[in-house]
């Protein structure tokens, strides 16, 4: 017996997760893609690529070898160069090749371009999340640049190129470019109107002096930044090189040492009379970047759903292949209760994020304005708990740095913070409702009508509407935000004719339920939910 154990080191250990079609194995995702008329064959190919053992290992290696800042070369010349591991570059080339940075804007996908791209983002983030920061920012910056058509036209071909070109060269000499952003400063953070960075007009451009406390992906070819002009806070595009080919006045001070997101470089930067061109009207910086912010917030929700999916897949892969007390873990009722409850959460959140992406595609402006911050709030804040519960399913193996769950757990809180933390999202829901109260109430009424097909939500709807109209609504902002998002999730399931819509309504929107996963009575639907989450 002992000799056999020594010869088989995998005794009662689950197999490594890899060489999986992340699209086809994920029934809620595949159903959403079919519902919105997307190219299922192409998305399956994408799912196989990101689910391959080789691609998943690139994610491990990129995070074990984080970027390094080289401020000077060996001769003392300022270079401000961030050095990445080849695994990071390989992931960047893959995601740009799949068009995740620009396909929503290049006309290549007439059927649901935003939704189709969102599916690929959801798949890519399961392989590795950090490299998707510049991918997301490039996609979102196009939204802001549309307010300055001549400038966008000048950059368009390089931005939309499917060729990844990491060389530190002027943008016009490259085969493809990426865009980043620098908005927040050390004294203001979320309050960008407190920015002190200044822009001084010099002929047909400005020169910017100041700093940014967080500027991610510092090796991007240009950055959208906010600076104070004579007419107020304004948005600018700042390239890494001036028009004469010389280096622009960006001086990277250091890279942030972050909890997670290790493969991605986030920097502190100073601007020393840095060349930049205005984007949008002077003094309208916040209004100019709002389209960009809405796109990045949608990406935060989609990527967080992908992270939860990957965590649940790890858990299901383990419990189906691990036996305890003479039975597989997946056959034991207590474990089924936990895994199925997690799967129910993913059923709803996948339906919700792709319903939101579809709304953007279809120009459902009122829906998107009201629900984007609410969806980001719910999905991103759910991620750490879902990932933790999935990690616990693996026991001690889940806590090991040699397996992906530890990295995933450190990544899980990020999207809830990026582009506005929980309170910011809740307050944005209130602002959206206050700006267009009739449209907001019509949106809520439509959600109630659809959700009511699956579950009686009268009490919740009444409470939401009464609270929204109350003079002290800000005190209950988080309640409103979460309640609205869960109502929208139920409506998305009902609209999709999901067999689990009523179950979600009873488990998540009715009173008398506890907060931990595994405590809900799922009416013996455990196996069906687990099999949809990851095909057995």
332: containing domain: 287-533
Question: pLDDT tens digits, residue range 394-446?
Answer: 999 999 999 999 999 999 999 999 989 999 999 999 999 999 999 999 999 99
Question: Tokens 């959801």 map to which residue?
Answer: 122
22 lies in a domain? no
Q: What is the pLDDT of residues 195-248, one digit of tens each?
A: 999 999 999 999 999 999 999 899 999 999 999 999 999 999 999 999 999 999
Q: What is the pLDDT of residue 188?
A: 81
pLDDT digits (tens, 9 = 90+) for 300-335: 999 999 999 999 999 999 999 999 998 999 999 999
**pLDDT beyond 90 at 515:** no
Domain's final residue, options 245, 266, 282: 282
The H or E element spanning position 367 is: helix 365-393
Number of domains in the chain: 2
392 lies in some domain: yes
Please check whether residues 294 and 242 belong to one and the same domain. no
Residues of the chain above pLDDT 70, percent: 97
| Tokens (6 digits) for 86 | 């080849």
Name the band, by pLDDT with cuts 50, 70 and 90, for residue 4: low
Tell me, yes or no, whether 261 and 298 share the same domain. Answer: no
Give the ranges where 239-332 is alpha helix by DSSP (H).
Answer: 285-319
**Residue 5, pLDDT above cutoff 70:** no
- The average confidence (pLDDT) of the chain is 95
Q: Are residues 206 and 316 in the same domain?
A: no
Chain mean position to CA 347 = 17
Of 106-115, 151-160, 181-190, 447-456, where does mean pLDDT reach its minimum?
Answer: 181-190
pLDDT band, very low/low/confident/very high, at 2 (cuts 50, 70, 90): low
Q: Are residues 490 and 427 in the same domain?
A: yes
Which is nearest to 500 in space by CA: 333, 351, 390?
Answer: 351
What average pLDDT does this structure show over 519-524?
83
**37 pLDDT above the threshold of 80:** yes
**302: nearest Cα among 223, 418, 448, 390:** 418
**In Å, what is the CA distance from 137 to each residue of 65, 133, 345?**
23, 6, 28
Q: Are residues 227 and 353 in the same domain?
A: no
When pLDDT is cut at 50, 70 and 90, the band that residue 380 belongs to is very high
Residues 408 and 466 occupy one common structural domain: yes
Q: Are 184 and 218 part of one and the same domain?
A: yes
Distance CA 536, CA 532 (A): 9
Q: Which of 102-111, 160-169, 382-391, 448-457 comes out lowest in average pLDDT? A: 102-111
Co-location of 268 and 312 in the same domain: no
Say which CATH number the domain at 407 has: 1.20.140.10
Instruction: Examine residue 459 and state whether it is found in any structural domain, yes or no.
Output: yes
Is 15 part of any domain? no
Residue/partner pairs of 72-79 with CB below 8 Å, 24 or more apart: 78/247, 78/251
Lowest mean pLDDT among 93-102, 105-114, 300-309, 345-354: 105-114
Q: What's residue 7's pLDDT?
A: 56
The predicted model gives 265-277 an average pLDDT of: 98
Domain limit, last residue, from 282, 311, 329: 282
**What percent of the chain is modeled with pLDDT above 90?**
90
In our burial notation (b when 16+ CB lie closer than 10 A, e otherwise), range 317-355 reads bbbbebeeeeeebbeeeebbbbbbbbbbbbbbbbbbbbb
- Mean pLDDT calculated for residue range 78-82: 96
How confident is the model over 481-502, as a mean pLDDT? Answer: 97
User: pLDDT tens-digit profile of 118-145?
Assistant: 999 999 999 999 999 999 999 999 999 9
Do residues 300 and 140 make contact, with C-beta atoms less than 8 angstroms apart?
no
Q: For position 10, what pLDDT does the model report?
A: 64
Question: First and final CA of the chain: distance in angstroms?
Answer: 31
d(CA 182, CA 205): 18
Is the domain of 207 the same as that of 336? no
Sign of CA dihedral 224, 380, 94, 362: negative
What CATH number does the domain containing 238 carry?
2.40.110.20
**Which is it for the CA torsion 15, 18, 20, 23, positive or negative?**
positive
Q: What is the pLDDT of residues 281-296, one digit of tens each?
A: 999 999 998 888 999 9
In a domain, 18, yes or no: no
Q: What is the pLDDT of residue 9?
A: 53
Instruction: Answer yes or no: is pLDDT of 514 > 80.
Output: no
pLDDT score of 517? 77
Q: Does residue 377 fall inside a structural domain?
A: yes
Please check whether residues 261 and 350 belong to one and the same domain.
no
How far is residue 445 from each of residues 358, 484, 513, measured CA to CA in Å?
19, 11, 25
Residues 268, 337, single domain; the answer is no
Length of the chain: 536
Nearest to 94 by CA among 65, 60, 120: 120
Query: Within this chain, do residues 63 and 188 fall inside the same structural domain, yes or no?
Result: yes
Q: According to the model, what pLDDT value does residue 97 have?
A: 98
Say if CB 350 and CB 357 are below 8 A apart.
no
Q: Among residues 238, 257, 282, which one ends one of the domains?
A: 282
Residue 14 counted as domain residue:
no
């Amino acid at each position: 017996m002992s000799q056999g154990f020594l010869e088989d080191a995998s005794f009662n250990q689950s197999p490594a997760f890899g060489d999986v079609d992340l699209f086809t194995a994920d029934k809620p995702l595949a159903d959403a893609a079919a519902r919105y008329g997307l190219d299922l064959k192409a998305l399956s190919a994408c799912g196989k690529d990101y689910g391959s053992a080789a691609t998943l290992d690139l994610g491990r290696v990129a995070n074990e070898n984080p970027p390094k800042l080289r401020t000077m070369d060996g001769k003392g010349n300022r270079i401000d160069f961030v050095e990445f591991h080849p695994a990071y570059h390989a992931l960047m080339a893959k995601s740009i090749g799949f068009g995740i940075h620009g396909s929503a804007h290049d006309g290549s996908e007439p059927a649901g371009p935003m939704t189709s791209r969102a599916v690929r983002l959801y798949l890519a983030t399961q392989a590795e999340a950090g490299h998707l920061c510049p991918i997301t920012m490039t996609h979102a910056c196009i939204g802001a640049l549309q307010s300055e058509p001549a400038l966008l036209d000048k950059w368009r071909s390089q931005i939309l190129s499917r060729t990844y070109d990491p060389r530190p060269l002027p943008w016009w000499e490259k085969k493809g470019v990426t865009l980043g952003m620098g908005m927040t400063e050390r004294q203001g953070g979320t309050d960008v109107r407190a920015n002190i960075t200044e822009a001084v007009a010099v002929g047909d451009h400005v020169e910017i002096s100041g700093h940014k406390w967080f500027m991610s992906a510092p090796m991007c070819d240009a950055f959208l930044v906010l600076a104070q002009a004579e007419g107020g806070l304004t948005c600018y595009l700042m390239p890494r090189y001036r028009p004469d080919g010389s280096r622009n006045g960006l001086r990277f001070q250091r890279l942030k040492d972050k909890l997670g997101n290790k493969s991605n470089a986030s920097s502190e930067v100073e601007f020393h009379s840095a060349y930049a061109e205005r984007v949008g009207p002077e003094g309208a910086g916040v209004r100019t970047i709002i389209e960009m912010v809405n796109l990045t917030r949608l990406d935060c929700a989609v990527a967080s759903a992908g992270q939860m999916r990957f965590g649940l897949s790890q858990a299901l892969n383990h419990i189906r292949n691990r036996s305890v007390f003479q039975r597989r873990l997946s056959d034991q009722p207590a474990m089924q209760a936990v895994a199925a409850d997690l799967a129910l959460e993913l059923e709803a959140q996948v339906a919700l994020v792709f319903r939101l992406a579809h709304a953007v595609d279809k120009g459902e402006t009122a829906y998107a304005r009201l629900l984007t911050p609410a969806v980001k709030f719910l999905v991103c804040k759910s991620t750490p708990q879902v990932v933790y519960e999935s990690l616990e399913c693996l026991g001690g193996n889940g806590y090991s740095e040699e397996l992906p769950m530890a990295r995933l757990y450190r990544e899980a809180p990020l999207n809830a913070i990026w582009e506005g933390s929980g309170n910011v999202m809740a307050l944005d829901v209130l602002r959206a409702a206050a700006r267009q109260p009739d449209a907001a109430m019509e949106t809520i009424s439509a959600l109630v009508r659809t959700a009511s097909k699956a579950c009686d939500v009268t009490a919740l709807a009444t409470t939401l509407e009464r609270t929204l109209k109350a003079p002290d609504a800000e005190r209950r902002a988080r309640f409103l935000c979460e309640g609205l998002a869960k109502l929208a999730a139920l409506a998305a399931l009902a609209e999709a004719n999901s067999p689990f819509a009523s179950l979600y309504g009873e488990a998540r929107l009715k009173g008398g339920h506890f907060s931990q996963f595994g405590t809900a009575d799922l009416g013996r639907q455990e196996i069906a939910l687990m099999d949809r989450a990851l095909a057995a």
